[in-house]
Amino acid sequence: MKILALETSAKAVSAAVVENGAVLASTYQNLGLTHSVTLMPMVDTMLKNAGMTAQDMALIAVAAGPGSFTGLRIGISAAKGLAWALGLPCCGVSTLEAMAENVTAFEGTVICAMDARRQQIYNAVFDCHGGRLIRRCEDRAIALEVLAQELARETCEKIVVGDGAGLCHTYLLAQGISCRMAPAGSLYQRASGVGLAAQRMVEQGRTVTPQALRPVYLRLSQAERERLAKGLPITVE
């Protein structure tokens, strides 16, 4: 089964084709360009260079969140459009789980961190053994202080991955918690990880229709919080 995977949850944008645990093709940009402009041309060029077409795909996977509100909407919209046109199912993959796929060669605790502002990170924690990830908690927005308290008594090796890794790594070290940063090439979320995580979701029967694909924000946007504070209704996508 060939999976076309998309990642637009943060500053970088990427796409990949994954099949049977192997990354067949991938493309990545971290230039701060607008995802709505760059994503589909990147997909088209990648498929052309790999001698494939969208019709060769069996599933569309996308990083569904957490992440940038605008970025997630762009990725979800693109995935919906592709899946709808091709008559394919979808997988909305946790951004945090996808980034953990970058470091499955590591043995120990994988700490996924995205900067959520407001003195919080988006976080998930996984145990990684023999190339397999075992989730320890649901995706969450959490204060670094709370995460440090959870990890304080652990003695196993720890690695931090994600665009919030620097912030998280510095804080944990200051609290006396030993950990290390993922290598630069494995630090940020990539579509290849989205595709690999989607493979497990397919095996578990966790695919959805394009209509049912939704972003996962974990918390309200600034605009939604302001509307709520004024007693105005908010629309949940």
C-beta separation of 39 from 73 below 8 A = no
CATH class (in words) of the domain with range 2-96+189-218: alpha beta
Name 92's bridge partners.
62
pLDDT surpasses 60 at 224: no
- pLDDT digits 0-9 by tens, 20-45: 999 999 999 998 889 999 999 999 99
pLDDT value of position 121: 96
2-96+189-218 with 100-186: one CATH topology? Answer: yes
C-beta separation of 25 from 52 below 8 A = yes
pLDDT value of position 108: 98
What confidence category does residue 117 fall into, taking pLDDT thresholds of 50, 70 and 90?
A: confident
pTM > 0.85: yes
pLDDT value of position 119: 80
- pLDDT digits 0-9 by tens, 74-114: 999 999 999 999 999 999 999 999 999 999 999 999 999 99
Please choose, from the candidates 115, 185, 123, the residue with its C-alpha nearest in 3D space to the C-alpha of residue 158: 123
Rounded Cα–Cα distance for residues 205 and 208 (Å): 9
pLDDT value of position 231: 73
Tell me the two tokens of residue 124.
């998930």
Rounded Cα–Cα distance for residues 151 and 170 (Å): 14
Q: Which helix (H) or strand (E) holds 142?
A: strand 140-143
- pLDDT digits 0-9 by tens, 122-158: 999 999 999 999 999 999 999 999 999 999 999 999 9
- Residue % of the chain over a pLDDT of 90: 89
Q: What is the 3-state secondary structure (H, E, C) of 165-225?
A: HHHHHHHHHHCCCCCEECCHHHCCCCHHHHHHHHHHHHHCCCCECHHHCCCCCCCCCHHHH
Higher pLDDT, 185 or 227: 185
Q: Where are the beta strands (DSSP E) in 13-131?
A: 13-19, 22-29, 59-65, 90-94, 108-115, 120-129
Domain ranges of the chain: 2-96+189-218, 100-186
- pLDDT digits 0-9 by tens, 168-184: 999 999 999 999 999 99
Please choose, from the candidates 109, 36, 41, the residue with its C-alpha nearest in 3D space to the C-alpha of residue 70: 36
pLDDT value of position 68: 93
Fold (CATH) for 100-186: Nucleotidyltransferase; domain 5 (3.30.420)
